[in-house]
């Protein structure tokens, strides 16, 4: 277990931190950074982002009276230091484990976690709402939003900035943590703009020193020198900054750039900024992974990590046995093969280049792989535009992030019946990232949309076949393929690709008495369950349905004419999901069958390992065995515990 240093061990809450003399803050930062390194080495987790904001975290809690003053962390990858300083140091060893500390700020975990986050670019809007509420209620408090430069690639951040700039009497401080990284290197014009802006440090240094001097003039002579200077500042900036500053143009006072690793300077600046109670932005430059050399040198790799050896950076557990690949890697390799065959195929990802394994594809086709930044809405409509001109866009997007582009999926793709392929990664329960990242709802939210084809592969080979099918010339509608995070089941997965008939499932295993209809990867759980059930002389028929829309109605008629006891299994919400589609079919065709649905219940599921969460939600192999026995005994009588599913 990681040990806290002599200063850090004294800090249970920020009130303890504020008792330290300023000259001890650099040592505290060193101890906090070491604690994060050694603790994440034992548990795994997001890594580089929190190391990059150690000094900022200490400075914020030192200067502001938290929890009365409010800090909103964007995304939350960078909030480990915040958690350690706010009463969770001893519990930090349970990070991202079932029943343990969440990897993201979570309102019901601590009063210091002012806003639940996980998706990027929400901090400015949320913090602005808090600041306005405080003003309306007559509460004198500071509200701080900490946003990374990567999050500025999302439109929501600009909507918040635009609105904040129109409220000059709201006490809001925005801190822009500029490290030129999100998960992968940042892309787009805003990144170039920030880089250009930081070259004007001479201007900013002069401005800050002059501002402080003018404040002393007011104190000594009563002359409002700062107010007078502000009146002419806009014109000065237009001249010096080659046409103006983006943030100033939006009505937000800009300060910086400053060194984000100088904790004493940050304390000084934040103390000064407390005196200016209007929307303002402090731009700091930091290094993602600061203080751990491997993370500094390969920031994308060390964005998130498993357990590792601190001294070498090597993974703690290395397996020499052959194992199935990750679904995302199968996707990346298969896309490369398909793009060799058809020059009209292009790939798009919203800032998940490595997460979706399109880095593999980009090595061969850099001009046909587009990382559009954290801009899911744009990614989908960009794909729609490509499709109108005869291209075949494949949008690689996590299930939880596709939620942010729901209107575009309907309005820009489905209504126009455009041939856009959605490769929906991280579908189902993703594990340690918890409820903000689980891909629980894509089946339910896509199934009602006309013109969509919805599919899910049983294994890696079927993922290849579905991708191959989805990009064929005669497909003239949106085609979604969902697949889970992590490894599949096949060692020899690189099979020749073949076309799958749209809306056709298959019988995997002959059986009697009960039929198990599986959608996607959970079909493997059903096959595992069947092996055990055979020992009890129970032989279920196992079907790989492949498509949630259109359903294989021909196969379903065969099933319902043979079986009156049906179990559906899916890695998605049972409300509106694949099982609901089967119930609708049953009702529409007048079948009198008993249908039991297994999947994600009507709850937000906590963090934990995927296996733990599958068990918790009652659709792993063990749950399928239990449900089958109960169904054949005359009733389900399900008593699956969901006490931790919150």
Active site residue 34: no
Question: Nearest Cα to 376, choosing from 418, 417, 346, 348?
Answer: 348
Active site residue 135: no
Per-residue exposure over 622-643, b if at least 16 CB sit within 10 Å of its own CB, e if not = ebbbbbbeebeeeebeeeeeee
Q: Among 33, 89, 96, 288, which one carries the catalytic annotation?
A: 288
Alpha helix stretches (DSSP H) within 474-542: 523-533
Query: Where in 53-120 does DSSP place strands (E)?
Result: 70-73
Is 51:37 a contact under the CB 8 Å cutoff? Answer: yes
Active site residue 404: yes
Q: How many CA atoms lie within 13 A of 554 on its CB side?
A: 7
Is 134:165 a contact under the CB 8 Å cutoff? Answer: no
What lies within 8 Å, CB to CB, of 463 at 6+ separation is: 327, 330, 331, 334, 457, 481, 483, 488
Is 475:499 a contact under the CB 8 Å cutoff? Answer: no
Question: Nearest Cα to 541, choosing from 575, 505, 571, 574?
Answer: 505
What secondary structure letter does DSSP report for 119? S
- In degrees and rounded to multiples of 5, residue 328 shows phi and psi of -65, -35
Q: Among 404, 426, 464, 615, which one carries the catalytic annotation?
A: 404
What secondary structure letter does DSSP report for 140? -
> Distance of alpha carbon 373 from its chain centroid, rounded?
13
Q: Among 34, 55, 258, 376, which one carries the catalytic annotation?
A: 376
Residues catalogued as catalytic: 288, 376, 404
């Amino acid at each position: 277990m990681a040990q806290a240093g002599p200063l850090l061990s004294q800090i249970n809450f920020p009130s303890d931190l504020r008792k330290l003399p300023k000259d001890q803050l650099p040592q505290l930062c060193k101890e906090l950074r070491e604690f994060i390194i050694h603790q994440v080495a034992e548990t795994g987790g997001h890594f580089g982002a929190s190391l990059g904001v150690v000094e900022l975290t200490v400075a914020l809690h030192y200067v502001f009276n938290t929890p009365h003053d409010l800090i909103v962390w964007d995304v939350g990858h960078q909030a480990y230091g915040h958690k350690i300083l706010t009463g969770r140091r001893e519990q930090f060893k349970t990070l991202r484990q079932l029943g343990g500390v969440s990897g993201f700020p979570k309102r019901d975990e601590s009063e210091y976690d002012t806003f639940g986050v996980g998706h990027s670019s929400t901090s400015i809007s949320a913090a602005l709402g808090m600041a306005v509420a405080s003003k309306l209620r007559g509460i004198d408090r500071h509200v701080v939003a900490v946003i990374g430069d990567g999050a500025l690639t999302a439109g929501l951040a600009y909507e918040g900035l635009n609105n904040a700039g129109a409220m000059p009497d709201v006490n809001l401080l925005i801190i822009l943590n500029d490290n030129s990284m999100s998960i992968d290197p940042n892309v787009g014009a805003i990144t170039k703009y920030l880089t250009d802006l930081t070259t004007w440090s001479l201007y900013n240094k002069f401005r800050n020193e002059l501002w402080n001097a003018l404040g002393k003039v007011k104190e000594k002579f009563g002359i409002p020198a700062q107010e007078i200077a502000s009146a002419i500042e806009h014109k000065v900036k237009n001249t010096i900054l080659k046409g103006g500053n983006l943030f100033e143009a939006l009505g937000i006072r800009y300060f910086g750039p400053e060194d984000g690793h100088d904790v004493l300077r940050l304390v000084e600046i934040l103390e000064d900024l407390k005196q200016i109670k209007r929307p303002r932005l402090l731009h700091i430059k930091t290094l993602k992974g600061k203080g751990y050399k491997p993370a500094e040198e390969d920031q994308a790799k060390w964005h998130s990590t498993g357990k590792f050896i601190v001294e070498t950076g090597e993974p703690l557990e290395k397996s020499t046995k052959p194992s199935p690949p990750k679904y995302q890697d199968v996707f990346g390799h298969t896309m490369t093969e398909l793009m060799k065959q058809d020059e009209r195929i292009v790939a798009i990802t919203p800032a998940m280049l490595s997460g979706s394994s399109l880095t593999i594809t980009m090595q061969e086709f850099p001009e046909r792989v587009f990382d559009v930044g954290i801009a899911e809405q744009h990614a989908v409509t960009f794909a729609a535009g490509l499709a109108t001109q005869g291209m075949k866009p494949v949008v690689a997007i996590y299930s939880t992030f596709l939620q942010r582009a729901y209107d575009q999926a309907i309005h820009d793709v489905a209504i126009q019946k455009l041939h856009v392929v959605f490769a929906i990664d991280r579908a189902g329960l993703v594990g340690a990232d918890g409820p903000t990242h689980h891909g629980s709802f894509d089946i339910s939210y896509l199934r009602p949309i006309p013109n969509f084809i919805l599919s899910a592969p049983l294994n890696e080979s079927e993922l290849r076949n579905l991708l191959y099918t989805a990009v064929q010339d005669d497909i003239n509608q949106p085609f979604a393929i969902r697949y889970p995070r992590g490894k599949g089941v096949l060692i020899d997965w690189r099979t020749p690709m073949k076309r799958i008939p749209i809306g056709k499932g298959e019988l995997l295993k002959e059986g009697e008495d009960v039929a198990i209809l599986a959608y996607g990867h959970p079909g493997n759980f059903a096959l595992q369950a069947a092996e055990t059930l055979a020992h009890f002389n129970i032989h279920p028929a196992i079907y790989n349905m492949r498509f949630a829309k259109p359903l294989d109605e021909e196969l379903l008629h065969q099933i319902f004419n043979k079986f009156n006891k049906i179990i559906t299994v899916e890695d998605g919400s049972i409300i509106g999901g694949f099982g609901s589609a089967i119930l609708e079919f049953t009702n529409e065709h007048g079948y009198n069958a008993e249908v039991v649905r297994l999947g994600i219940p009507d709850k937000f599921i906590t963090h934990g390992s995927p296996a733990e969460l599958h068990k918790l939600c009652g659709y792993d192999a063990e749950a399928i065995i239990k449900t089958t026995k109960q169904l054949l005994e005359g009733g389900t009588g399900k008593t699956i515990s969901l006490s931790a599913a919150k």
